[in-house]
Amino acid sequence: MAKTHIKQGDEVVVLTGKEKGKRGKVLELRTAKNRAVVEGLMMVKRHLKKTEENPDGQIADREGSIHVSNLMLASKFDERLAKRN
């Protein structure tokens, strides 16, 4: 397992990419790929098969993963902004 600067449950800010500047809570860490799933960010569509609960199937929105190098702890981000001003 690789060591990361964030952990599950931390509030993070996205530094780059289409979600730049957005905040969210880390739901899951995927240390093998150095990626994290952040609540409400990088939403992707997943097609679900027909089941008894879902007789017509479904297209569901789920959170995708973001590389940990593109994330920073919200507390450190706020400190950095305060130093600049």
| Model confidence at 64: pLDDT above 70 | yes
Alpha carbons 45 and 58: distance in angstroms, whole number: 10
77 within some domain: yes
5 within some domain: no
Q: Tens of pLDDT along 1-45?
A: 667 899 999 999 999 999 999 999 999 999 999 999 999 999 999
CATH code: domain of residue 58: 2.30.30.30
pLDDT at 81: 87
Find the mean pLDDT for residues 51-74: 92
63 within some domain: yes
Q: Tens of pLDDT along 34-59?
A: 999 999 999 999 999 999 988 999 99
Domain of 56? Answer: 11-84
Count how many domains the chain has: 1
4 within some domain: no
Q: From start to end of the chain, where are the E strands?
A: 11-14, 23-30, 35-38, 43-48, 58-63, 65-67, 71-73
1 within some domain: no
pLDDT at 1: 61
| Model confidence at 83: pLDDT above 70 | yes
